[in-house]
Structure 1
Amino acid sequence: MEPNDTIPAAPEGPAPVPPAPTEPPAVADAPVRRRPRGRTTLIIAAAALLGISGGAAVGYGIQAERAPTPLPALSQPGLGHPAKPLSADRAPAPLPAAQDRRVRTDGDLRKLLVDRPKGAKKTLTDELGLDDGWLPLDQYAETYYDDPHFMFESFSELDLRRVASVGWRQGKHRETGVQLLQFRSGDRNGAAEHFGDQLMYMPWDRNGAGNQGDPVKGSREGRYFLFPVERKAGYLPSYRARALAVRGDIVLDINIFDTVPIGKKDIRMLAERQLERL
């Protein structure tokens, strides 16, 4: 410094503070690569499959090397069948006709129909000599069904063999008809099918009796029904009762018509009497 130089005056106030160094921006963490989830399951499944396959192969090899186990003979000695037919004096006697149902049903089916009650009158066709106890298929379908053409075809498909019929009149307007429908034996059980079809619609209000009916004694599924009265202007009221049952290849179908109420006892007892004869 020279002699004539002056010392600069000190600045007023505190000295300026240098700014603090700023922190570097945070760097985001890099994403971690995860193991696929399905790879472990696939490895375990493959190992299990290899273990099962290997075990089966080893077991098959062991079994194949073993000696075969002998099986028992198919023919068994000492069976109860006789070597020769029995002689006539030792052969069992055939069942009597009273116990052999097939003998009765293969014979004259009309003989199994119930007898007319005492005091009952013959039907008009019977009085004219037109009723021989057999009812042709078309005539039966025409008499008792609303759609005779359909029923005729149905009976043909079910292989209906014959229909034995008997009828009578009582009082002023009561008419009773009893039919035995016999079906042939074949691929279809015609008797059971026809009985089931008829029984199915009986509880319906349309064409049926509108009720479940009551069981017929001596029959597993047989039932009898009372229909609701039908009234039409200018006509007497119409009452009807019907009974259905099946036994073997024969279906029992009984109908009673009257202009006065029909008691349950009338149709029930008639059905039981007819069923006993089968």
Structure 2
Amino acid sequence: MEEPERVDEAVPAGRTRRRGRTATMIAAAVVLGVVAGVCTGYVVQAGREPTALPPLSQPVLRQAKGEVEPLSAARDRGVKTHGDLRKLLLSRPKGAADGQFSAGNDGWEDIASYADRYERPDNAFNNLVDDEFRRVAVTSWRVGDTYEVGIALVQFLQESKPAASEWAEHDHYWAAKGDDTRSWSIPGTGDGRAYVHTSPKRRAGYLPLYRAEAYAWRGDVCVEVWVNDSKPISKAKIMDLAQRQMGKL
């Protein structure tokens, strides 16, 4: 069973979120407009009689008494994701065997192994370092001879950028480029989406390989779900996995 093909050759437009030349020109025009308006207003005001200013004293707002009750661990998502990230992975079904997706070392995968999932690991590794990669928790299982699931929770430090949402956006870009691909929004996830590739990959001597995948993010965690099978994969299967995994975050 092969792992779904991942691509990192180019960054989708907008991922770096830089302002373009047009936006700079518009900003400059706004500044010029403000300066011109100030000059005109000054000339008009100079010819008017002085107006009495309101008193400087303002009503004093009373501060509420007591302390704000902190969020419980169940409601504070930061508490969840700063603990053992592996506990937030979906549990494998009873009777399921180990999958052929990389399951890492006791549920963890280091940055080099995760970068190897991409066609150009060196580029992926550098991107992960630049985006303040923190850690990734992984799981994988197989039911029967051909149905296989892999899940990764990729966490970033996010001290300088919203890397989790950018990596999800990157995943969406490449998933949508596949031929004969259908996709749907994942309810309750904002811009999370699930994808089903209806045409299988074929290789002589092997069963056809059908693929589905889903990507979303929450806080500092990018969620990745993959499914492989020798039979077509339904929307319901990938949606169920994606929604249940997001529900644990």
Q: TM-score, normalised on structure 1?
A: 0.67
Which has the higher Rg, Structure 1 or Structure 2? 1
Question: Which AA in structure 1 matches 2:63?
Answer: H
Q: Choose the corresponding residue for 1:171, options 144, 149, 171.
A: 144
CA contact (8 A) 2:99 2:149 kept: no
Matched, 1:192 2:165: yes
Q: Aligned match of 1:81 in 55, 63, 80?
A: 63
Q: 1:132 aligns with which of 106, 112, 115?
A: 106
Q: Structure 1 residues 62 and 93, CA, compared in 2 at 3 Å: closer, same or farther?
A: closer
Q: Which has the higher contact order (CA 8 A, sep 6+)?
A: 2
Cα 1:174–1:68 change in 2 (3 A) is same
The percent identity for this pair of structures is 37
| Matching residue within 156, 171, 183 for 1:213 | 183
Structure 2 residue 203 is the aligned partner of structure 1 residue 203: no
Match of 1:262 among 230, 233, 236: 233
The runs of 5 or more residues in structure 1 that have no matched partner are 1-55
Count of equivalent residues? 208
The RMSD of aligned alpha carbons is 2.7
1:120 and 1:236 map into 2 onto residues whose CA distance is: 21
Distance 1:59 1:101 in 2: 55
Which residue does 2:130 correspond to in 1? 157
Contact 1:245 1:251 in 2 (8 A): yes
What's the counterpart of residue 52 of structure 2?
Answer: 69
Structure 2 residue 210 is the aligned partner of structure 1 residue 239 = yes
Cα 1:164–1:76 shift into 2, 3 Å: farther
Question: Letter of the aligned partner of 1:101 in structure 2?
Answer: R
User: 1:201, CA displacement in angstroms?
Assistant: 2.5
**Structure 2: stretches of 5+ with no match in the other structure:** 1-40
Q: 1:70 to 1:178 in 2, by over 3 A?
A: same
CA contact (8 A) 2:115 2:121 kept: yes
Distance verdict in 2 for CA 1:146–1:71, change over 3 Å: same
1:131-155 deviation per Cα after TM superposition (whole angstroms, max 9, x unaligned): 3111111111213x22222211111
* Paired letter, 1:151: A
TM-score of the aligned structures, taking structure 2 as reference length: 0.74
Mapped to 1, the partners of 2:227 and 2:101 lie a distance apart of 17
Report Cα offsets for 1:71-102 as digits up to 9, x if no partner: 442x64422436xxx6xxx4233221111111
- Tell me, yes or no, if the aligned pair for 1:215 and 1:222 is still in contact at 8 Å: yes
